[in-house]
Structure 1
């Protein structure tokens, strides 16, 4: 698996070095040489295509939040600014996290770990369900694997249809009045999260049938 490439953008070379080292210390991450200005950051983005920016707000030649808005990359804003207008502007620009300086490098490490999980959850080649999207957002916010989110109404209905029994996707679909494909999609998502177990039933002919049971 390719490391997540991170560009630190900060005009204080000591702070930039600390953040670069914190990135390099996390498994699965690789820090690029920090940029000290908006111009250097744009050149580094064009040359090295980072996956994630860690950008300060106040830079010698411009505004880090506008940089985040314009480059179209995942980003964290790292700033000593604590006024609500700046924080709102950062989130409006698309930042995934706002870290108030000064902060312990362990805080950055924890946010990077969240980001890695967030990327993994949104790396699926299959169409995402609403629950997939909610789970990724919850992980980025620090909610443990989205456990604190209420399950979607359809998920709850699927689990209720299973009850304590074992059933196929077709049987669940018939019980709740949805298509087999919809039931299969929700059952598969629940199984991936460990909420449903999957077994096989072998008949006398044809393919084995997947059987689902609440875990």
Structure 2
């Protein structure tokens, strides 16, 4: 089973930290570490737990969240009330993969997490990448070509990301996403009914066909 992506949340307001934690924990394929409230706590937790993703505020009592992103060497999304262009540019220069303005609808963070999971899945492993792989990863991360209101569930997004450009069985998709075969089968059937994926049959030695799924292009 694929390990969930571990997320560290940094916000000096503990109520905000707990809110973000609940959103992260509700998303398939993610788990939130206990939120931290200062740069000092965040640095210690990054060293000890090595999270996959950091959700950080910009202005903190003991310093600057953007500077932490630059030094931490892990993927990060900045979540801040700072809406001036220089701050956003500085965040992106420092390596942030996303920037979310407070206040925001929880669906905005969910959408960012969904895209991040697909981006990570596409760039997983050590295989050589083609230019179109890099282009697709960036397009996914920044939501290129997707409507603001995405109707697909978070799990369906992860199922589609698991399929990528190839084909897979329900059991293989379940293993990649970290869900049961039955759950993967249910989501694949729903996607097939909407013609988002196509079903292919592969005949093995027993003569019983195996259902294989591939995303439609």
Residues 127 and 84 (structure 1 numbering): CA distance in 2 closer, same or farther, change over 3 Å?
Answer: same
Report the TM-score when normalising by structure 1: 0.67
2:90 matches 1:94: no
How far the C-alpha of 1:192 sits from its partner, in A, is: 3.5
Residues 107 and 191 (structure 1 numbering): CA distance in 2 closer, same or farther, change over 3 Å?
Answer: closer
Equivalent in the alignment of 1:51: 52
Deviation >2 Å, runs of 4+: 190-193
2:16 matches 1:15: yes
Listed as ranges, the matches of 1:56-67 within 5 Å are: 56-67=57-68
Equivalent in the alignment of 1:129: 130
How far the C-alpha of 1:87 sits from its partner, in A, is: 0.3
Listed as ranges, the matches of 1:140-179 within 5 Å are: 140-144=141-145
Equivalent in the alignment of 1:113: 114
Equivalent in the alignment of 1:81: 82
**Larger relative contact order (Cα-Cα within 8 Å, sequence gap ≥ 6):** 2
How far the C-alpha of 1:120 sits from its partner, in A, is: 0.4
How far the C-alpha of 1:125 sits from its partner, in A, is: 3.3
Residues 191 and 104 (structure 1 numbering): CA distance in 2 closer, same or farther, change over 3 Å?
Answer: closer
How far the C-alpha of 1:86 sits from its partner, in A, is: 0.2
Q: How many residues align?
A: 152
Residues 15 and 124 (structure 1 numbering): CA distance in 2 closer, same or farther, change over 3 Å?
Answer: same
How far the C-alpha of 1:104 sits from its partner, in A, is: 1.0
